[in-house]
Amino acid sequence: MPRPLLVTDDPTDLDDLLRLAATAGVEVDVATDVGSARRSWTNAPLVVIGPDLLDRCAGARLGRRSGVVALGHDLDDASIWRRAVDVGAERVVFLPDAEPWLVQALADAVESTDRAGLVVATLGGRGGAGATTLAVALAQAGARRGHCTLLVDGDPLGGGVDLVLGAEETGGLRWPDLTATRGRLPAAAVTDALPQRDGIAVLSWDRGAATQLPVAAVEAVLDAGRRACDLVVVDLARTLDDVANEVLAAATCTLLVVPAEVRATAAAARVAARAGLLCRDLRLVVRGPSPGDLGAADVQQALGLPLAGALKAEPHLDAALEEGRPPGRRARSPLGSFCDGLLRDLDGHTHEKVRRAA
């Protein structure tokens, strides 16, 4: 893959630019003369030219192209703007003020700009509704479909989605390692640094005391996850705090899991009322069996939500969870079949939106 090109023979400028590239997690090509720059000039997704080589690059007639940035030293130097125009630069930047912009530009240059993965949130209508089980099964279905998949635990007081996936002993970063995260993360950094199981990257909690999860960290992870992955599944707590609100607002689809019970339906009505204020697409998943012959249509009528589907009882599911065998691994199981169908539907809607936009 073509890499950004840094064109300068000034050691100080080169050190600064390489430091910013390292911050962005980006590998770059370096040209200390015009001849070296010419070899990568056309294909480089971004070119940053130091002031020492601006005039030489302009005189070499390297060809006009987009994505050229000129580096300046002195805001009072009026000649920098003329020299930038001569080389065809779109922008002149001055360090250190432009460091955040340049870090993001370097990261953007090496990432596909047309990738925006699905974000699916799962939310329980009552405690123990099965939202975590559904989240893990959806991640399994995504991996089964060949999707790059990220599973995120959004419940600091839960048992840990990594336990359900069977990845509690797998090395990698957990939420406590990322609470200080801010701003833009390189997309690959998210999936590469996390525990992996069955082709799924999982971001969960450790077994220590619960810590406060900053909204900024969640924003950074979701943004990187959407750029890195085809599917991001987030298991949310029923307590709709600022973190949950951020996820609900970003989610492509939110699934409210409700057991087919009268009290569960009553509890879910309150959750749905709050979540519905933020969700762009809130759907109902009714989980059986019902102790009182309450059907999925009855629950749907009571809550007034679109029905994503009804989940039948799955034999031996509880035993599998206790033994660390992830739910939904078998495509022909009720849970696996439901998740495969849901993802087909979501993928279809996404592709249709892309086709219409084109």
CATH of the domain at 289: 3.40.50.300
Q: Within this chain, do residues 271 and 208 fall inside the same structural domain, yes or no?
A: yes
Give the global pTM.
0.74
Buried/exposed code over 140-176 (b: 16+ C-beta within 10 A; e: otherwise):
bbbbbbebbbbbbbbbbebebbbbbbbbbeeebbbbe
202 and 279 part of one domain:
yes
Q: 301 lies in which domain range?
A: 118-357
Question: Are 98 and 137 found together in one domain?
Answer: no
Tokens for 314?
Answer: 């799955």
Residues 83, 171: one domain? no
Instruction: State how far Cα 124 lies from the chain centre.
Output: 22
Instruction: Mark whether 185 and 334 lie in a shared domain.
Output: yes
Report pLDDT digits (tens) over 125-142.
998 889 999 999 999 999
- Do 28 and 137 fall into the same domain? no
Residues 166 and 74 in one domain: no
> Domain check: are 68 and 137 in the same one?
no
pLDDT at 63 over 90: no
Mean pLDDT on 59-68? 90
- Given this model, what pLDDT does residue 349 score? 58
Same domain, 168 and 60: no
Query: Above 50 in pLDDT, residue 54?
Result: yes
* For the chain, percent of residues with pLDDT exceeding 70: 95
Give residue 315's pLDDT: 77
pLDDT at 257: 96
Which helix (DSSP H) or strand (DSSP E) does residue 342 occupy?
helix 334-357
State residue 355's pLDDT score.
Answer: 39
Buried b (16+ CB within 10 A) or exposed e, 261-276: beebbebbeebbeebe
Q: Mark which of 109, 140, 165 sits at the end of a domain.
A: 109
pLDDT in tens, 160-205: 899 898 888 889 999 888 888 877 777 776 778 899 998 899 999 8
Q: What is the mean pLDDT of residues 43-59?
A: 94
| Cβ atoms < 10 Å from Cβ of 216 | 14
Q: Cα angle at 215 between 212 and 219, to 5 degrees?
A: 135
Number of domains in the chain: 2
Residue at a domain's end among 109, 142, 172: 109
- Give the CATH number of the domain where residue 87 resides: 3.40.50.2300
| C-alpha separations of 236 from 125, 161, 218 in Å | 11, 10, 12
Please give the average per-residue pLDDT across 221-248, as a whole number.
91
Question: CB under 8 Å, gap of 24 or more: what pairs does 81-89 form?
Answer: 83/51, 83/54, 83/55, 83/58, 84/54, 86/54, 86/55, 86/58, 87/49, 87/54, 87/57, 87/58, 87/62, 88/58, 88/64, 89/49
Assess whether 156 and 52 both reside in one domain: no
State mean pLDDT over 54-74. 92
pLDDT of residue 114 exceeding 70 = no
The residue among 109, 143, 158 that closes a domain is 109
pLDDT-based confidence at 343, cuts 50/70/90?
very high
pLDDT score for 166: 87
pLDDT at residue 112 tops 70: no
Per-residue pLDDT, averaged over 64-80, amounts to: 91
Phi, psi of 173 (to 5 degrees): -75, 145
pLDDT digits (tens, 9 = 90+) for 278-305: 998 999 999 988 888 899 999 999 999 9
pLDDT score of 115: 57
> Is 212 found in the same domain as 96?
no
Q: Are residues 78 and 55 in the same domain?
A: yes
**Residue 243 CB burial class (10 angstroms; 0-12, 13-18, ≥19):** buried
Average pLDDT, the chain: 88
**Burial, 109: exposed, middle or buried (Cβ in 10 Å; 0-12, 13-18, 19+)?**
buried
Return the sign of the alpha-carbon dihedral for residues 71, 76, 81, 87: negative
Question: What's the rounded mean pLDDT across residues 99-105?
Answer: 90
> Does the pLDDT of residue 18 top 90, yes or no?
yes
